[in-house]
Structure 1
């Protein structure tokens, strides 16, 4: 309760405060005399000698004037009384109100509080009548006058207070608290109209028909009455996007509209969790084996804690080979892992991958089917690395590629391939491999929004860590990757298959390999570990896993005949053919003819070093001039440039491509013809007179 209360709240007034009030004398002395004559109840004001008189003994005219003067006092209106028994409003209920409802409610509370304050000295009826009279005469305090229009919450021209309205507000406040004073707003009708189910059957289809098409089917296939198209649109606008698009979009697409959970990597160390996935590259590359254009499959492995790409592989499709190749690359670079998190694709969900992961001491786990959002940590780099790289190539064939440009590139590249040439539009496999390495390296050293922020030492600004900085930070905190020897990694990562030996040979993948130590295993089954990137040899093991050795590709193959013997036979055959030619020539000419081979003359021109240096310098000068070819902005200067090029062309000098193109086109320009008429008249530019300007 406020310590500084008004005189009306106290209910007692001194002669000084009453002097000059309506119905009373104008001086303090006369007030005291008037009080004695009428026997007013009086008491000493605490701390002073002055007498103060009760509000109830004052004349009615004086009481009304005091009520009118004290209505809307800031110190009294701002603080409710201490003995209030009004029910308070629950905070969650107020949160359901709009901002306009809260403003109206606050304005009405101000009048209710004013009535409560006044009823401590007078009846409620008298307090209500006083406020109504002051509102009609325009004598309300500025504080309350501003809230009259807002509290009425009406759009009529005349909005003021009435006895009935104030009593209704007081009653609602006592029953429901402040929430009872909030105006009611019309809520949207969320009930299902009778035609809704029939319309949704025709609208919520995978073909995604328009509202007009579904409405037309509703009118044609159902009995009247039918709603209007505007009713249908208004009802659809009330539905949530998820409810409206259900049936038009599958469960996987609907996830883009649903809430999701962000997975925190707090407390996770590098190599704790690796996430792998394959992505078909959105640009064509020349296949090094076939020479044809194809879209390679890129399999990447990312460390979840640091967002670092630890390994990748390139293959024809997402397969076991690509997964094992990526795992070998990652283990060789970053060390051993604990958890391998992948999807349910055939390249990850197979016995070979399980065997390799088990032998490495890790654990493999799969995400739920059709739940790529769970592996968003690897899905996002596909866009920021692979899609961005593909868009930088002329052979890009993504969904957003211009069809006309894509068709032109396709025709040109296929024509070059048919002619046995390297198409300029499609990069070679080596160029693609180099660009991919550069893109992955740039990603690992670029700030990542999923990592913590640090202070940049060069700029002094806050920025996110890069994956490599996060990796180094973990190493500074004590992390040390568990590495494996290269030979162990190679033996573990190569897939193994059981094959039967035959006289020291073993066949696998259509090739024949030989190892002399296999003579003791003739006709027996062994395990062969092979590597698709290196087909020159395979590892050979017993069924118990004991190492036997490396079998070489065609290791027992030797030339059918010695090389010297073959060369001697070739020389003999050549000499015989020459002898037969000589005999035939003697038969034709009647004379002995000598046949000998003559080497083609390849005389090299002799150049003086000084002349050669001067020629190279002049050629470089011409090349620089052609490279710096610029078209002047001034019309006269452009005409003079054309004349110079025309003179060089007439002298037999070769022009650059840009110079030739501009020289041929500019002579048909309107500026050329207009300036030529003036310039060729006297060989001088025109004078700058008023007409020329």
Structure 2
């Protein structure tokens, strides 16, 4: 698959989504801070129609941003047959789809759990290494710069020749949009301007149609694969560890170089069993454990002693999934350094109390027409033997009430 262009006539909507990252040519600042920077967008482009089906705007183009972006696309347009990835590390990770061209001979024979794309039934193709023509999404980013980024007062230009002379003065006056404003406006402009803009492909039969009209017509020739509900999609998109043996401390997830352990009082019954873990890096309160046959075994809570330092406990002020993820990583690092010991109870929050807000619904203005035939994708997990309780154990589970902990702590002062 050297060039997507050669396959347009044979493609239909959702056959191939092309992914890439782009640095926005807009200077913005963090909400609540004066630090200026440039955000990035991780995007998935439908190869047939040119519709940007899903995206995520982030300050860190990483593998989790890739998952956020494809989740956004699947919620709006269904599940693609294939994704076409760049060779960046944010795409080629073991638990998303494998390492592709980055696979080393020494690691190619290591057995690994099913990757996210495998669970969704999506094939992955990689762009040829150092092939400048292998990423048609680059044309979208050029259009994005010229038709969307230029609308912002802090447009930087793609090079020194495009940089506006007035930019320095505007920055000095503090005319800088917030990250949250960028995210909202860019989303509105993508769906309200770009996706409903004129189709620019080479197929004459679509001349005069908009991109979304091309997608709506083309998808009628395919069976739309659609995840039945959001909860199933969240389960399918969970990150995974490699295989590990259950130890006395339980199972672990490694985050920011630190191991986060999960166990309950009955974990001793499964010592040395080989398993793998699925987890949500936005909510590390619990993990799901699977055996090597990919059968669900049980859910384990985080180590009860783990108290994380969140400098901002008001979740209403945590606007995006990416920022929640960044805060979680920072909190894990702080915990590992023992920085939470001197904090008051009001500035601590238990990992079990960390909740994540669901991704934003599809933007208004994009009308998606489903074909007559829709194939529902559901999660029908085969379960292994349930975790047995110890003799005399009638407990249902461990629930940590952070509010009660704080009240009790205050009484003791």
Cα distance between partner residues in 1 of 2:96 and 2:250: 30
Within the candidate set 96, 104, 110, 1:353 is matched to 96
Matched, 1:495 2:239: yes
Matched, 1:437 2:187: yes
Gaps of 5+ in 2: 98-114, 303-350, 353-398
Matched, 1:394 2:142: no
Distance 1:318 1:387, change over 3 A: farther
Matched position secondary structure for 1:375: coil
Q: Which residue of 2 aligns with 1:344?
A: 87
Cα distance between partner residues in 2 of 1:489 and 1:566: 41
Cα distance between partner residues in 1 of 2:210 and 2:50: 8
Does structure 2 conserve the Cα–Cα contact (< 8 Å) formed by 1:449 and 1:464? Answer: no
Matched position secondary structure for 2:241: strand
Q: Counterparts in 2 of 1:482-631, with a 5 A limit?
A: 482-485=225-228, 486-497=230-241, 508-509=254-255, 516=264, 519-520=267-268, 527-532=276-281, 534-535=282-283, 537-544=285-292, 545-547=294-296, 548-549=298-299, 551=301, 553-554=351-352, 556=400, 563=407, 566=410
Matched position secondary structure for 2:10: coil
Cα distance between partner residues in 1 of 2:145 and 2:123: 28
Does structure 2 conserve the Cα–Cα contact (< 8 Å) formed by 1:530 and 1:537? Answer: no
Return the index of the structure with the highest Cα Rg: 1
Q: Which residue of 1 aligns with 2:124?
A: 364
Instruction: State TM-score, norm by structure 1.
Output: 0.37
Does structure 1 conserve the Cα–Cα contact (< 8 Å) formed by 2:14 and 2:219? Answer: no
Matched, 1:408 2:169: yes
Q: Which residue of 2 aligns with 1:312?
A: 55
Describe the superposition over 1:532-572 as per-residue Cα deviations: whole angstroms up to 9, x where unpaired.
4x3264432134333312646245465787837845x78xx
Within the candidate set 372, 380, 386, 2:139 is matched to 380
Deviation at 1:311, TM superposition (A): 1.1
Q: Counterparts in 2 of 1:28-177, with a 5 A limit?
A: none
Distance 1:370 1:311, change over 3 A: same
Cα distance between partner residues in 2 of 1:289 and 1:528: 36
Deviation at 1:301, TM superposition (A): 0.8
Does structure 2 conserve the Cα–Cα contact (< 8 Å) formed by 1:306 and 1:451? Answer: no
Which range moved further: 490-499 or 522-531?
A: 522-531
Q: Relative to total residues, which structure has the larger helix share, 1 or 2?
A: 1
Does structure 2 conserve the Cα–Cα contact (< 8 Å) formed by 1:359 and 1:492? Answer: yes
Describe the superposition over 1:12-42 as per-residue Cα deviations: whole angstroms up to 9, x where unpaired.
xxxxxxxxxxxxxxxxxxxxxxxxxxxxxxx
Describe the superposition over 1:582-613 as per-residue Cα deviations: whole angstroms up to 9, x where unpaired.
xxxxxxxxxxxxxxxxxxxxxxxxxxxxxxxx
Deviation at 1:274, TM superposition (A): 1.4
Cα distance between partner residues in 2 of 1:560 and 1:313: 37
RMSD across aligned C-alpha pairs, in angstroms?
3.6
Deviation at 1:465, TM superposition (A): 1.4
Distance 1:343 1:412, change over 3 A: same
Matched, 1:465 2:209: yes
Q: Which residue of 1 aligns with 2:43?
A: 300
Deviation at 1:347, TM superposition (A): 1.8
Describe the superposition over 1:458-513 as per-residue Cα deviations: whole angstroms up to 9, x where unpaired.
xxxxx52112111221244x433112333443223222125766667856536967
Gaps of 5+ in 1: 1-259, 414-424, 456-462, 571-693
Describe the superposition over 1:281-327 as per-residue Cα deviations: whole angstroms up to 9, x where unpaired.
11122235976322222111111112121111223333222222222
Cα distance between partner residues in 2 of 1:358 and 1:444: 29
Cα distance between partner residues in 1 of 2:287 and 2:176: 37
Distance 1:304 1:513, change over 3 A: same
Deviation at 1:395, TM superposition (A): 2.1
Distance 1:326 1:503, change over 3 A: same
Q: Relative to total residues, which structure has the larger strand share, 1 or 2?
A: 2
Cα distance between partner residues in 2 of 1:383 and 1:443: 12
Which range moved further: 434-443 or 342-351?
A: 342-351
Distance 1:471 1:409, change over 3 A: same
Q: Which residue of 2 aligns with 1:162?
A: none
Q: Which residue of 2 aligns with 1:332?
A: 75
Distance 1:353 1:393, change over 3 A: same
Deviation at 1:437, TM superposition (A): 1.1
Does structure 1 conserve the Cα–Cα contact (< 8 Å) formed by 2:18 and 2:44? Answer: yes
Cα distance between partner residues in 2 of 1:337 and 1:561: 46
Q: RCO greater where, 1 or 2, for CA within 8 Å and sep 6 or more? A: 2
Distance 1:562 1:364, change over 3 A: closer
Deviation at 1:382, TM superposition (A): 0.6
Q: Which residue of 2 aligns with 1:450?
A: 201
Q: Which residue of 2 aligns with 1:283?
A: 26
Instruction: State TM-score, norm by structure 2.
Output: 0.59
Deviation at 1:371, TM superposition (A): 2.2
Cα distance between partner residues in 2 of 1:438 and 1:551: 39
Distance 1:293 1:529, change over 3 A: farther
Distance 1:436 1:511, change over 3 A: farther
